[in-house]
Structure formats: structure tokens, C-alpha cells
Chains A and B, each alone.
Chain A
Amino acid sequence: MAWILVSFSTNALCQTSVDVNNWPQISTEARGQRVYFHAWGGDTALNAHLSWVAAETLSRFGIELIHVKLADTSSAVSRLIAEHDAGNTERGSADLIWLNGENFSALKRANLLFGPWAEAQPNFNLVNADRFPEMRQDFGVKTDGYESPWTRSQLIFYYDSERLIEPPRTAQALRKWLKENPGEFTYPRPPAFLGTTLLKQLLIELTTEEKTADINTLFSNPPNDSFDAITAPLWTYLDEIHPYLLRGARHFPQSGAQLRSALNDREISLAFAFSPNEVVSSISRGELAPSTRSYVFESGTLSNVSFVAIPNNAPSKQGAMIVSNFLLSPEVQFKAATNAKLASEPVLSFENFTPKQQAVLLENARAPGAVLPNELARKIQEPHPSWTNELEREWLRRYGGGR
């Protein structure tokens, strides 16, 4: 009995409650901490950028930032859930996680995240959340301060202008073009994030065209019994175009990077990515020909914000918050935005950069292969995360087993 009491009291001593509003105290407590940042490791440019961030956090704040390279974001989530199941409430393996919608909602639902903390960050007001409500919404789910914005991205299409003069700019145009040019396009196999994104993009476009329902309310809520009726046009569409895809849709690429590689090798002439900077950075890395051009569909494309979150059992919460705040600083946002090899858009609103930085950003927007800013302005909000799961499930049910 006494043993239990002792362990409880030591637990209380160990778990110093973190006062998110006392930033000076957080900075002091963060010094000397080690922060494990679980983020996808498949992008060497991003890995290098994070290495730079780590060097800076060490010299400026005395925080050792370690980038744990994941092959897949959801593995961090499942690890967290497993730790929770095993009763690990203090020594989690992750202090900071890079999340997107479906993963965030799963963790928030299970009460595995620490918070609220995001809006207490000194740099948070730089994202101008009042004017850009997407800074507080992750796939339609309110963040409630449990996540902090990091980067934003948008679905863009790109093509080889040497082989394609006028690319299709709507879903209908795409279908028509595919039938005339078989084997020139494909998409990553769901549940890869990019592949599911195309499904969502097509679904929204097809639904809007057929005016089956009020789009905003439809997709802000989880799918209900009318899922089959609503998604019917999508499956008909896919059934039609699959025979005209690369490899006759018997095999799909695993990722957007493989899609880009296929374009570079002239296997396909049209591809897409979830980052506006994709073409510019790829050209500078020699991974795409300088003749590549990018664009946005006429009726707009999906756009979202990437967030970072802190698990409840993170041992270095203070350090994680300092790192997140640093990621929001104009310096880091600018460095990422101007890194030709990186593919991301800053979340800071334009006026929060210095005039010199603003000039550079404007100049970059004119680089060959860049998407025109007015095209980028055509943004479509992401639907509720449950749509992602349901679409993936249905796609796998219909096509995942092969023919």
C-alpha cells in the first residue's frame, strides 16, 4: 500500500504540469531537452531542412531536435496508440508529430494529444488565423489549439510541355483526353495520401457538376448512408478511365515521387503533386525537365495546412513547443519557402515577412514551372477526414484485389 502511495507521489512530482501561457518558464524548462520529431523521412530535402532547424534549435535554445524518419506517418500514430494501450503515459517515443487530418482526428478522439497550446505560441498570430480560418481547421475538424500550423500545400497538376500542348483543366476534359491518349496518366495507389487526394478532387468536381447536394455541408460532415449514392459518379468515372491509365491500372505507383519519376522518364505526360513548389524544386534538382509546367484545375483544387502536434505522453513538451514556435518564425518559414529543393508554401501571411523577404518571394513566383498565384488562389477546402477513410476503403474494395 505504501509502495503505491510512494509511486503515485513520485508520479505527481515527475509530471510537472506545463503552463502553456508562461512562455518564459517554458523556454527555461525547454533548455537541455531532447525533442523527438516524428515526420515522414522520404524527402531528402526536407530531411536536410530539418537538420538545419535542429542545428539552429541547439545553438539558440539549447534543444536537441531529433528527426525520426518515418516511412509512413500513420506508423507514428499507431505507435502512440500502442504506447497508450501499454500504459505508457510519460515516456512516449515522440514529442512532436507531423500530422494530417485523418490521423489528427483519430488521436484527438482518443484523447492522446496534449493541449490546448498552439495559440499560446508567440508566433501564432503571424499566421493571421482570423483571416485564414484554415489555420484552425484540419480537414474540417477544429484544431482547438491542439495543433500548430507548419506548412501549407495545394494540389497542383503538371505536365511535360514538350509532349502536351494543352493539358486538361477539368475532370471531364481529363477523361476525354485519356481516351485519346491512353497510358499517359496514372495516380498513386490509395491509401497513399496523394492518390486519395485525387479521388477527393474528382468526387468534389463531379458532385459539383451534377449538383447532387449543397457541397459545403455535404463534405464538412462525415459521410452517412447516402455515401454510395453520392460517390456513384466517382466510381463510374474511374471504371471508365482505368483501362486508359498507365499499365492499364494493373499496377499503380506508390507515391507522388514515383509519379514524378514516371513523368521524367516520359512514361506519362501528366502528373500531380500536393505542393505548389513541386515543379520548381524538381527542376532545380534535375528531377524534371525545364519544360515542365504546372497549373490548377479551372474550378480549383484541394488545399490544406499541415500541422504539428504534441502527444500527451511526450517527455519534452516544453521543447516541442519551442520548436513549433520556431517553425512558425518568419526566418524558418522564409528559408523553407525559398529552398528550391523543398516543396511547401509558408503559412505566415505575406505581410509578416520583411520587405526584402517579400521581394524574394514575389520573384520566385515568376520562376519557370511555378504555378501562377492567381491559379493558386483557387482553393477548395478539404472534406471531413472520415471521407478519406471511406473513399480509401471503397477504392480498395473495388480495385484493391486486382482484376
Chain B
Amino acid sequence: MSWSTRLLFLVLGAPLLIGSVLALAPAFSQYTLSDGSLNDSFNLFAGQIPPAFIALFSTPGIATSAITSLLAGLLTPALSLVSVFLFLAASQRGRAGKLIAQLSAPVLAIPHAAAAFALALLLSPTGIASRIIASVAGWQLPPDFLFINHPNSAALVLGLALKEAPFVLLVALAALPSTDAPRRVALARTLGYRPTAAWLLTVAPALYPLIRLPLFAVIVFASSTVDVGLILGPSLPPTLSVRLVEWFVAPEIEQRQLASAAALLQLFISLLALGIWLIFERLIARAYAAIAARGAPRAASTDMRFEAVLTAVGNILIPTSLVLVLMGITALCFASVSAQWRYPAILPTAWSLQHWSAALSTWQTPLFNAITIALLSVTAAIALSLIMLEAQTRSKAGTTRLSTFLYLPLLIPQVVFVSGIAVFAERTQLSPSLLLVAGGHFFFVMPYVYLTLQSGYARLDSRWLLLAKTLGASTAGCFWRVRIPLMSTQLITAAMLGLTISLSLYLPTQILGAGRVPTITTEAIALVSSGSRGTIGTWALLQSALPTLCFMLALLAPRLIWSNRKGML
């Protein structure tokens, strides 16, 4: 193992380990009763169950919380995967398909919380959808139904899937060329299968293994999200991760220990979700084998209907999600400039810039912090990634199974180890500061940046470097004069990805910064309970503005830089 690989393990593994240990350890410690005394009779090594766990499992509704989180963790990736595959099968990269795929990309720039706000604005009983129906049906009062915040977590799954489906789509599109899809489909069609079914039966099994790891990241994220859980998830009881954070920030010691026990449960639930997903993988693989063994379709009519249904659904799902996002953002825009917007008015009845002027009078520090933290963490991530990748290339030691390890920070719920890092910071007297938060952000940004740059390194035609060497360029010369310029698009993509991630992070900023490092995101979420549509709309838009700007820059920059070099685009 080369030194660069060891460095990577250290940089990513150490905080993970320390954070997890410090977060989970209190669960096993001596339990402090409410009057401050220690429970001396508890002894871990005597094989007794720690009191923190007993307390956890006797908390009302804990099983429901856990199951809700588990369901969200399974249904979100399932919904995303199904809609993406059906879309790809139905559109088969035709012109409309390409257009939709391009339109999906900007959705990635919108932070999860903003998307959740947008959905709530659309589908709550006083939301836009309800108002539109009211204008047709003549309602004066809003209906009393529960969808957003319903205990069945349907709204939570939908809100998460709106953001995760485009992510899975873009990952799938990146991997699609290596599956040789057109030829596979053509082959299946000559054997009598219809196009959509052919794609699903021949390309999907080849494509799935290539997008497995990102899907695992989605599973863990969906089962442990805090900000989206707060906005769209149920409250009686809340999801496990939301409860965890409530306990962690509570003043009583026993709540902290309860939080640690809950963190272990959260870890278990996320891993359980992964495990169940793996079982489903096997089952579906077997189903595929059975279908393949059944041979080419005979009954033309049922087959045609099946095909029609598949194609129709495939063509509807992703575009609908994009429409929802667009409508939601529009609703946020209207909300941010509304002075009065009582039900059942579809448009605000009074307009005002008060929300914007209020926001813009207080946004300087959060904006400065957000940008500085993002730039610091991304620059560090890119620099470190380049150092390690370059070292690997030069040493010819080859890359070990790094990609799996890199996904590790994405497979452990954020909420579990960030709290541990905070405890670590407290113990070592590290005062909450911009640098500490930037360090925390670096940790989350690094995997994505490294993976993007790694694929750039792999895809670079090795002949360029050979050529440069034969023309006498030194090793450093090869790096700066050849590799960097030729990888400029990947560098810009990696930077954009990192900046977007850093700008949307909430939990690390809040916990590591102890509230003293406000960013646009923390300000926006602090206003969730404000109940003011205008304030929430304004801050949700502010929160989305920065990443969207980065995204557009990332698209435009290569075109601008290489405007007179067609070969680079």
C-alpha cells in the first residue's frame, strides 16, 4: 500500500473512527439519573444491558420511528431506481430523452431542504395544489388532510426521491456507454422482444452493478436525513434521526446518552436497509433469470399492453418530478415576495419586498461564511486528491480497491459521527470556528471530489503523457502542462460538486460551529418553525442560489475558457 493510499485512509478513516466511537461510547457508560447521581449498580462487563438502551427501547414510538426511517431508506432508492430505469428504457436516449436528462442536472444544485420546502408549499392542505382544486371546486376553507408529515412517510419519500432520482439518472447516464446498450437492445429485438422490455431485460442488469455504490449512498442518506425529515417527515413520532438530534442538543445528560444509544440504532437501521436491499437484489436477479428462461414473448396482445404500460410510466415519472420541482421553486419565488397570501388565493394578494430586505440585511455574515468554508474545503479536497492521484500514477503501484473505501463516509449516517467529532472538538478545547467547520465540510466533500478526479485520471488517454515525455517534458511539466489542462473539465466538475455539497450541509455546520458559524443553510433551517411562508421562501431561494450559480459556472466555464479550442469541448 503506497503512502498516498495510507494517507487517504488516514484522512477519511480517522475522523470516521473517532467520531463514531465518541458518539456511540456514552451509550455504554454509567447512566446518570435525573437527580444527577450515578447508577453505580450498572456494570457493562457483567453482561448487563446498558441503561441507555433500556431507556431507548422504552421510549414511546421508538419502533415506529425506526421503521419509518427504514421504510424511507428502502422506498426512496427503489422509487428513484424504478423511475430512472423505466425512463431510460422508454426514451432509449432519443432526443426528448437527452433533453430531459439535461434538464435534470440543475436539480442536483438545489439543496435538499429547499426542495423539501418547495414540495411542502405545493402539496400541503394550504398548498398550491389545494388552492388550484379550490378554485375549481369552490372551496373556501382548506381541507383537513394529512399528507406532508404523515406517519407513513410518503411525503418524505417523495421529497427525497425528487432529488435522488436526478442524481441516480446522471450517474446511470455516465455509466451507460460502457454497457453497449444499443447493441444489446437490437439483439433482443431481433429475438422478438419489444424495445422497452428489451432494454429492461438486457441493459438494466448490466447497468445496475455500475450504479450500485451510489444507490447504497442514497439508502443510507434517506434512512438518516435530518433536515428533510424535519420538514416532510412525521412528527408523531418523528423519524429516528430527528429524535436523535433532539436528544443530542437537549441539556440533560441522560438525553445525551439516549442520543448515543439512538445513534447505534440508527447505524443498525441503515445497515439493515442495506442488507434488505441486497436480499432484494438476489430476488430480482432470480426473477430476471426466470423471465429470461421463459423465452421470447409469444402472446402478442398481453405483451403489447405490458410494453405500452411500461413505456407510458417511464415517460411520465421523471418529467413529472421535474415539473414538481419547477412548480415548487416558482411557488417559493411567489412566497418570497408575498405580503399576504391567504387561502384560497392562487397568487399572493399583496406583494412586498419586506422579506428580501429583511434577509439581505442579515445575510452578509452567513454568506461570507458559506462561501469561505466552501472554498476552503473544496480547495483542500482538490489539492489532496491531486497529490494522491498523481502519486499513485507515478509510483505505478496501481490503485487498490479504493472506490469502495471512499464510499465509507457516505455509508455511515452523518448524524452518527458528526456529533462524535463535536465531542472530540470540545474535549480538545478546539473552539468552534470557521476553520473547524471547513474541516468538517472537507470530510464530506472529499469522497465526491476524489472520485470525480479519479475517473478523470482513468479516462485520460495515456498517450498524451507518453507524448509529452518523448518531447522532453519533465514529470512536473507533464502534470502542469498536459494533465491539468486536459482534465480541466473534470476539475471544474469536481469543484462544482464539492462547492454544492458544502453549501448545502447543515448538520456539520450546526454542530461543529456551535451556532457561531452561521451559513445560509443554517439560517434557512432555523426559520423552519417561523411559520412564515415569505421568510421560508426567501431563505430557501437564497440557499439554492449559490449552488445553482456554481452549477451554471461549471457549465459555462469550459465553454468560455476553451472557446477557441474545439478539441477540448
Contact surface of A with B, Cβ cutoff 8 Å: 36, 38, 41-44, 47-48, 51, 68-72, 74-79, 81-83, 85-88, 91, 93, 103, 106, 109, 183, 189, 246-248, 250-262, 264-267, 285-287, 289, 396-403
A86 near B526: Cβ-Cβ < 8 Å: no
Q: Beta-carbon contacts of B125-162 to A below 8 Å, as 1s and 0s?
A: 11000000000000011101110011100000000000
Set of chain B residues within 8 Å of A255, measured between Cβ atoms: 529-531
Set of chain A residues within 8 Å of B235, measured between Cβ atoms: 189, 251-252, 254
Question: How far is A133 from B421 in the complex, measured between Cα atoms in Å?
Answer: 45
* Chain A CB within 8 A of B249 CB: yes
Given A264-B342, A401-B237: A70 in contact with B61 (beta carbons within 8 A): no
Q: Closest A residue to B64 by CB, please name it.
A: A402
A401 near B249: Cβ-Cβ < 8 Å: no
Q: Beta-carbon contacts of B521-546 to A below 8 Å, as 1s and 0s?
A: 00101111111110100000000000
Q: Beta-carbon contacts of B349-367 to A below 8 Å, as 1s and 0s?
A: 0101010001001100000
Which residue of the partner chain, among B343, B518, B530, contacts A257 with CB atoms under 8 Å?
A: B530
Question: How far is A189 from B146 in the complex, measured between Cα atoms in Å?
Answer: 16
* Chain A CB within 8 A of B100 CB: no
* Chain A CB within 8 A of B515 CB: yes
Set of chain B residues within 8 Å of A398, measured between Cβ atoms: 60
Which residue of the partner chain, among B126, B343, B358, B515, contacts A44 with CB atoms under 8 Å?
A: B358
A286 near B352: Cβ-Cβ < 8 Å: yes
B342 near A86: Cβ-Cβ < 8 Å: no
Given A250-B146, A400-B61: A71 in contact with B358 (beta carbons within 8 A): no
* Chain A CB within 8 A of B73 CB: no
Question: How far is A255 from B146 in the complex, measured between Cα atoms in Å?
Answer: 18
Set of chain A residues within 8 Å of B256, measured between Cβ atoms: 78
Can you name 21 A-B residue pairings with CB atoms under 8 Å?
A38-B515, A68-B516, A69-B515, A69-B523, A72-B249, A74-B249, A75-B515, A78-B249, A79-B515, A85-B426, A86-B429, A93-B431, A183-B144, A247-B144, A252-B235, A257-B532, A258-B531, A401-B59, A402-B61, A402-B151, A402-B237
A402 near B431: Cβ-Cβ < 8 Å: no
A259 near B531: Cβ-Cβ < 8 Å: yes
A261 near B533: Cβ-Cβ < 8 Å: yes
Q: How far is the CB of A161 from chain B (nearest CB, A)?
A: 15
Set of chain B residues within 8 Å of A43, measured between Cβ atoms: 530
Which residue of the partner chain, among B234, B339, B531, contacts A251 with CB atoms under 8 Å?
A: B234
Question: How far is A221 from B468 in the complex, measured between Cα atoms in Å?
Answer: 84
Given A72-B249, A255-B531, A401-B237: A267 in contact with B526 (beta carbons within 8 A): no
Set of chain B residues within 8 Å of A251, measured between Cβ atoms: 146, 149-150, 234-236
Set of chain B residues within 8 Å of A399, measured between Cβ atoms: 236
* Chain A CB within 8 A of B252 CB: yes
Set of chain A residues within 8 Å of B529, measured between Cβ atoms: 42, 71, 254-255, 257-258
Set of chain A residues within 8 Å of B426, measured between Cβ atoms: 82-83, 85-86, 88
Set of chain A residues within 8 Å of B427, measured between Cβ atoms: 86
Set of chain A residues within 8 Å of B510, measured between Cβ atoms: 71
Which residue of the partner chain, among A69, A75, A397, contacts B60 with CB atoms under 8 Å?
A: A397
Q: How far is the CB of A42 from chain B (nearest CB, A)?
A: 5
The residue among A70, A71, A266 with the most chain B CB atoms within 10 A of its own CB is: A71
List which B177-217 residues lie within 8 A (CB) of chain A: none
Question: How far is A87 from B64 in the complex, measured between Cα atoms in Å?
Answer: 38
B535 near A400: Cβ-Cβ < 8 Å: no
Question: How far is A79 from B234 in the complex, measured between Cα atoms in Å?
Answer: 27
Set of chain A residues within 8 Å of B140, measured between Cβ atoms: 266
B526 near A400: Cβ-Cβ < 8 Å: no
Given A86-B426, A266-B342, A286-B339: A401 in contact with B531 (beta carbons within 8 A): no
Set of chain A residues within 8 Å of B352, measured between Cβ atoms: 286
* Chain A CB within 8 A of B319 CB: no
B125 near A44: Cβ-Cβ < 8 Å: no
B64 near A48: Cβ-Cβ < 8 Å: no
Question: How far is A77 from B525 in the complex, measured between Cα atoms in Å?
Answer: 20
A106 near B252: Cβ-Cβ < 8 Å: yes
Given A247-B144, A286-B350, A402-B61: A78 in contact with B531 (beta carbons within 8 A): no
* Chain A CB within 8 A of B432 CB: yes
B525 near A400: Cβ-Cβ < 8 Å: no
B236 near A189: Cβ-Cβ < 8 Å: yes
Set of chain A residues within 8 Å of B531, measured between Cβ atoms: 253, 255-262
B429 near A88: Cβ-Cβ < 8 Å: yes
Q: How far is the CB of B542 from chain A (nearest CB, A)?
A: 13
Q: How far is the CB of B511 from chain A (nearest CB, A)?
A: 10
Q: How far is the CB of A252 from chain B (nearest CB, A)?
A: 6
Question: How far is A44 from B523 in the complex, measured between Cα atoms in Å?
Answer: 11
Q: How far is the CB of B513 from chain A (nearest CB, A)?
A: 10
Q: Closest A residue to B538 by CB, please name it.
A: A44
* Chain A CB within 8 A of B18 CB: no
* Chain A CB within 8 A of B17 CB: no
A266 near B141: Cβ-Cβ < 8 Å: yes
* Chain A CB within 8 A of B460 CB: no
Set of chain B residues within 8 Å of A76, measured between Cβ atoms: 515
* Chain A CB within 8 A of B555 CB: no
Q: How far is the CB of B238 from chain A (nearest CB, A)?
A: 9
A267 near B530: Cβ-Cβ < 8 Å: no
* Chain A CB within 8 A of B251 CB: yes
B126 near A265: Cβ-Cβ < 8 Å: yes
Set of chain A residues within 8 Å of B432, measured between Cβ atoms: 93
Q: Which 8 A-B pairs have the closest CB atoms?
A: A401-B61, A257-B531, A401-B60, A258-B531, A255-B529, A261-B531, A77-B251, A265-B126
Set of chain B residues within 8 Å of A91, measured between Cβ atoms: 431
Question: How far is A56 from B378 in the complex, measured between Cα atoms in Å?
Answer: 39
Which residue of the partner chain, among A41, A93, A259, contacts B514 with CB atoms under 8 Å?
A: A93
Question: How far is A400 from B59 in the complex, measured between Cα atoms in Å?
Answer: 9
Set of chain A residues within 8 Å of B322, measured between Cβ atoms: none
